[in-house]
């Protein structure tokens, strides 16, 4: 999936392509940029370069405008969304490391047990075991 993410964030589309893909005018697209709703990269010759993710974002902006939001409102929505996104990733990370710990623990115990059958009530460090 990392491959796909990369493609989607590859900034290669000039503003003309973006216009066709979003049905927005260049004026609108640049204005949204001036309002910090989107931040395209630049080519060597200073041309704006957009990614597929940028396209998605512009379409999202269009939707919000249709819903009656103004630039400030959309900006808020985006920063809020980003916050949630970060929190989600953080939680995901945490749970993953917890899982790692569990896995490590499991392997450790497995090694200690020497692959013998688990006996309950042996002196203290009785290894847990899961049938694979």
Partner DNA sequence: TCAATGATGTCATAAAACATAACATCATTG
Partner DNA sequence: CAATGATGTTATGTTTTATGACATCATTGA
Phi, psi (deg, nearest 5) at residue 114: 60, 25
Q: With binding defined as CB under 7 A, does residue 48 bind DNA?
A: yes
Stretch that binds DNA, among 70-78, 93-101, 105-113, 114-122 (CB under 7 A): 70-78
Structure token digits, residue 98? 């917890």
- Name the site residues for a second copy (rule: CB under 8 A): 12-14, 16-17, 20-21
CA distance 43 to 27: 19
Number of H helices, E strands in the chain: 5, 2
At closest approach, how far in Å is the CB of 66 from DNA?
10
Q: With binding defined as CB under 7 A, does residue 126 bind DNA?
A: no
Nearer to DNA, 23 or 122 (CB): 23
Nearer to DNA, 71 or 109 (CB): 71
Instruction: List residues near DNA by CB under 7 A.
Output: 14-17, 19, 25-28, 30-32, 35, 43-48, 65, 70-72
């Amino acid at each position: 999936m990392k491959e796909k993410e990369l493609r989607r964030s590859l900034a290669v589309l000039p503003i003309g392509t973006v216009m066709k893909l979003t049905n927005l005018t260049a004026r609108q697209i640049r204005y949204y940029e001036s309002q910090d709703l989107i931040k395209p990269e630049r080519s060597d010759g200073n041309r704006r370069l957009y990614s597929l993710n940028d396209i998605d974002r512009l379409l999202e902006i269009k939707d919000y405008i249709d819903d009656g939001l103004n630039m400030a409102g959309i900006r808020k929505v985006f920063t809020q969304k980003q916050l949630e996104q970060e929190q989600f990733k953080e939680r995901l990370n945490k749970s993953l490391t917890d899982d790692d710990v569990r896995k490590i623990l499991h392997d450790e115990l497995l090694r200690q047990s020497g692959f013998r059958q688990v006996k309950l009530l042996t002196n203290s460090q009785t290894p847990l075991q899961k049938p694979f």
